Amino acid sequence: MRLDKVKVTDSEVRIDATREGLEFPITASKPGVDTWPWDRSDTVKILIAWNPAQPDELRTAIGNIFAAELDAELAKDAPACWQPWLLSRQNNQQVLPPETTYPGARLPGSGVTAPKLLYAANPGFSAAALELHYQGIAVIGLIVDATGKPQEVHIVRALGMGLDEEAVAAVEQYRFAPAKFEGKPVAVQINVEVDFRMGSW
């Protein structure tokens, strides 16, 4: 949110804001952070009733509306596909291997064959990415179960602009010939790259 106007009285706080997104360019030729309007008509008006004698209530209300910083509570409330990525940022790591609860999941290698991709759904582009001609590669982690179906699909390296959610939705439709260990199908944990490329503009 970009705060446009804040008005405080003895009984309420009024906030006018504009919803925005952030673009984190990953190329050396375009460093820094750019802002872009999510929807140029998407203004948000927030009204908070408060009692000046109880400032903690206002602090709590604002904390419930705006995420001032990334913490475990915020990560826990996020969609499951985002939780490993958010926790990796909380721990200042580039990539945090997800803690999977999927029983028996292995990594390819040491006698475990890699699963073979049989079908890959094409991801869609978000409206924001299309408008800004934004493209790149999202890295998605998943468990390929013993039947060749994706489980626990999650974001490992985020791309932004709504493309990560599109990548997750596409990978959830992937189908594989399952990995094998000693000739038997087994569940494995892998990462896949989802490449978003546009034609000539």
pLDDT tens digits, 99-150: 566 777 899 999 999 999 999 999 999 888 888 888 999 999 999 999 999 9
Domain boundaries along the sequence of the chain: 2-66, 70-201
Give the pair of three-digit tokens for residue 50: 């408060």
Of 32, 5, 34, whose CA–CA distance to 128 is shortest?
A: 34
Q: What does the pLDDT read at residue 147?
A: 96
Q: What does the pLDDT read at residue 200?
A: 44
CATH code at 70-201: 3.30.2420.10
The 8-class DSSP code of residue 65 comes to H
Q: 162-180 burial string, b = 16+ CB within 10 Å, else e? A: bbbbbbbebbeebebebbb
Q: What does the pLDDT read at residue 152?
A: 92
Low pLDDT (below 70) residues in the chain: 20-42, 67-74, 90-101, 199-201
